[in-house]
Structure 1
């Protein structure tokens, strides 16, 4: 039983040497919350700025993959990029909708 507890605390480095991890489970840091903005980027796919919102969706998926692999800083950066591109996509989509409405309603009848 004690050997099982000892083996769970042993970590090996890249060189293959082992050392004891003296931190308890309570002292270990919990991973930061995932901020991939996947729902927002899926919502932006309904905006008429298609190349931009596809990029936001890709950044969001890459953020989730980085988080799953333990790269929390990379996940945070990709999530932030997904947020910025999603907001830009919403803004561009609204501009396209407004311009289309203005052109449609101010043009003389055909």
Structure 2
């Protein structure tokens, strides 16, 4: 009951935990979506361009850390870098696979 004295917007439930008033939640601004492309960067770890894959994974993790710290602009920038490096990793991996197949099947 001390919560009601300190903050009138906080309501207590029957179990004793506190919930915010719904009107105050609606007034808060919405957070931008998290775009760290973690699933894509994990998928690129299966491509044969390993140093580039690890860089994409590091950018993705750094993007998530920045987002949870509240630095949304830095998170967006690092997420975009993770996307670009992941796409480059996929392209490099496809080139390596194609080159390996061509060399393997054309030599006698």
Q: Which residue of 4, 28, 38 maps to 2:7?
A: 4
Query: What's the CA shift string for 1:18-72, capped at 9, x where partnerless?
Result: xxxxxx4323211111000000000000000000010000000000000010011
| TM-score normalised by L of structure 1 | 0.78
Query: What's the CA shift string for 1:64-89, capped at 9, x where partnerless?
Result: 00001001111000000000000000
Q: What is the distance in 1 between the residues matched to 2:85 and 2:91?
A: 10
Q: What is the distance in 1 between the residues matched to 2:26 and 2:5?
A: 20
Runs of 4+ that moved beyond 4 A: none
| TM-score normalised by L of structure 2 | 0.79
Q: CA RMSD in A?
A: 1.8
Which structure has more helix as a fraction of its residues? 2
Tell me, which stretches of 5 or more residues in structure 2 are unaligned? 11-23
Q: What is the distance in 1 between the residues matched to 2:46 and 2:64?
A: 21
Tell me, which stretches of 5 or more residues in structure 1 are unaligned? 9-23
Q: What is the distance in 2 between the residues matched to 1:55 and 1:69?
A: 21
